[in-house]
């Protein structure tokens, strides 16, 4: 995928930026009905990527592609409600060796389809009832069948389920004196073999990765409530509210962040990461919110000039250029903006948008320089359009 940034780069008009994002998504469109995050690096379908793509397509006025993206993502769902995090439509046999499942993976990702469908409904897009039912079934699986930790948070079965693949919050599970990407790759493959599954192969728990991240629980609760509000279904609201309360109960006032549950809850699960700040989506405690928001803008903490750092600058593991060790991730920037209001939301959006364009719409970037990391371009960074003041869709 090759795109050319406007010559005036960050100072390009909103029309120029919309045209650029449209070219990027058009170039990445796959005839099976989804947008490849990057044709070369990431040619497959990823669940939460496709949900973010649906939002971007809607911003571009492409309701048909927006719905196609969600239809493709949810088409992999099994009868338990479990939604795989990857689709191998381009080569269904490719997934068998790693996942033991033809055509898709055998773990999930944050259920961003709740928020995506809610936004489409609010925009007046005619969303098929079947998509809403599939999304509700996916939430039902997570809230009622996924193992719940003693903390009240949902357990995940693999780092990839969180979307935060190599987060320092998992360091207790993959110990070492320093971050070693090869050691982490071996670890992530090894823990696939210890997942406990239901009768249809749905992932329920993993004793070798007993993690209960606040981010995954916050996103599950928030997505459930978003969809319930838009679709008028209240069947899972009580469970979602209880999960949100469990998230807020994990707040650490000294570190001004929410702590994970699970076996790493008192260890690496306390590392200050921006995904843990997603507790803002469900917190009803004013003091908790104020402390985390202050950290998001503090240059000694998460406050980068080009968006929120992935890891707090005072953490020993912080590295502004290393995968999941400190760069800005645009999808987290977008979600944190959804959690904020007023001037705070506007300022965080401004910084994240600046980073998106300075990096050339990269997968992630340095919070202080805007220099690109990972795949360039990466389609989900088109979320920058939704953070622009001139956006046609409200967060």
Per-residue pLDDT at 5: 58
Q: Quick one: average pLDDT of 338-356?
A: 98
Position 142 pLDDT exceeds 70: yes
- Over residues 52-111, the pLDDT tens digits come to 999 999 999 999 999 999 999 999 999 999 999 999 999 999 999 999 999 999 999 999
Position 305 pLDDT exceeds 80: yes
Q: CB of 308 within 8 A of CB of 296?
A: yes
In whole angstroms, what is the distance from residue 286 CA to residue 42 CA?
40
Closest CA to 204 of 120, 82, 347: 82
Position 118 pLDDT exceeds 70: yes
- Over residues 205-238, the pLDDT tens digits come to 999 999 999 999 999 999 999 999 999 999 999 9
In whole angstroms, what is the distance from residue 259 CA to residue 115 CA?
24
- Over residues 178-213, the pLDDT tens digits come to 999 999 999 999 999 999 999 999 999 999 999 999
Q: Which helix (H) or strand (E) holds 341?
A: none
Q: Which pLDDT band holds residue 390 (cuts at 50, 70, 90)?
A: confident
- Over residues 8-25, the pLDDT tens digits come to 556 688 999 999 999 999
Per-residue pLDDT at 9: 56
Return the residue matching tokens 């650029």.
Answer: 20
Report the percent of the chain where pLDDT is more than 70: 96
What number of residues does the chain have?
Answer: 395
Looking at domain 9-387, its CATH class is mainly alpha
Q: Quick one: average pLDDT of 107-117?
A: 98
Report the percent of the chain where pLDDT is more than 90: 95
Q: CB of 51 within 8 A of CB of 113?
A: yes
Residue 19 has a CB neighbour count (10 Å cut-off) of 14
Per-residue pLDDT at 146: 96
Per-residue pLDDT at 177: 87
The tokens describing 270, both together, are: 């306390």
Return the residue matching tokens 């005839």.
Answer: 31
3-state secondary structure of 204: strand
Per-residue pLDDT at 171: 98
> Domain residue spans in the chain?
9-387
Cβ density class 125-146: b for 16+ within 10 Å, e for less: eebeeebbebbbbbbbbbbeeb
3-state secondary structure of 354: helix
Position 161 pLDDT exceeds 70: yes
Per-residue pLDDT at 85: 98
* DSSP one-letter code for 317: T
Position 1 pLDDT exceeds 70: no
Tell how strand 364-365 and strand 372-373 pair up. antiparallel
Note if the bond before 377 is cis, omega within 30 degrees. yes
Q: Which pLDDT band holds residue 394 (cuts at 50, 70, 90)?
A: low
Question: Among 123-127, 342-346, 366-370, 388-392, where is mean pLDDT lowest?
Answer: 388-392
pTM above 0.85, yes or no: yes
In whole angstroms, what is the distance from residue 95 CA to residue 218 CA?
29
Q: Quick one: average pLDDT of 272-290?
A: 98
Q: Quick one: average pLDDT of 271-295?
A: 98
């Amino acid at each position: 995928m090759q795109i050319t940034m406007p010559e005036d780069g960050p100072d390009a008009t909103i029309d120029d930026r919309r045209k650029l994002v449209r070219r990027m998504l058009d170039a990445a469109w796959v005839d099976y009905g989804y947008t490849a995050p990057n044709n070369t690096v990431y040619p497959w379908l990823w669940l939460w990527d496709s949900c973010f793509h649906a939002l971007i397509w809607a911003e571009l006025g492409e309701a048909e592609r927006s719905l196609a993206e969600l239809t493709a993502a949810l088409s992999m769902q099994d009868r338990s409600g479990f939604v795989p995090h990857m689709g191998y439509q381009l080569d269904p046999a490719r997934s068998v060796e790693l996942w033991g499942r033809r055509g898709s993976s055998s773990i999930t990702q944050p259920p961003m389809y709740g928020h995506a469908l809610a936004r489409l409904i609010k925009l007046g897009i005619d969303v098929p009832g079947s998509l809403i039912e599939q999304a509700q079934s996916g939430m039902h699986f997570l809230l009622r069948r996924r193992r719940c930790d003693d903390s009240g948070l949902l357990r995940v079965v693999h780092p990839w389920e969180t979307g935060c693949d190599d987060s320092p919050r998992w360091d207790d599970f993959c110990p070492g004196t320093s971050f070693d990407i090869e050691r982490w790759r071996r670890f992530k493959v090894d823990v696939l073999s210890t997942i406990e599954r239901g009768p249809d192969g749905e992932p329920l728990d993993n004793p070798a990765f007993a993690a209960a991240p606040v981010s995954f629980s916050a996103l599950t609760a928030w997505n459930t409530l978003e969809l319930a509000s838009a679709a008028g279904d209240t069947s899972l609201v009580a469970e979602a509210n209880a999960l949100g309360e469990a998230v807020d109960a994990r707040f650490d006032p000294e570190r001004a962040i929410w702590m994970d549950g699970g076996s790493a809850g008192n260890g690496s699960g306390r590392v200050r990461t921006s995904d843990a700040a997603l507790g803002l989506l469900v917190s009803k405690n004013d003091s908790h919110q104020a402390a985390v928001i202050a950290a998001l803008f503090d240059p000694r903490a998460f406050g980068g000039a080009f968006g929120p750092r992935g890891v707090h600058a005072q953490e020993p593991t912080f590295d502004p250029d290393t995968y999941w060790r400190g760069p800005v991730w645009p999808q987290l920037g977008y979600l944190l903006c959804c959690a904020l209001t007023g001037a705070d939301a506007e300022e965080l959006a401004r910084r994240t948008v600046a980073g998106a364009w300075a990096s050339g719409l990269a997968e992630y970037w340095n919070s202080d320089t805007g220099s690109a990391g990972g795949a360039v371009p990466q389609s989900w960074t088109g979320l920058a359009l939704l953070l622009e003041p001139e956006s046609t869709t409200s967060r």
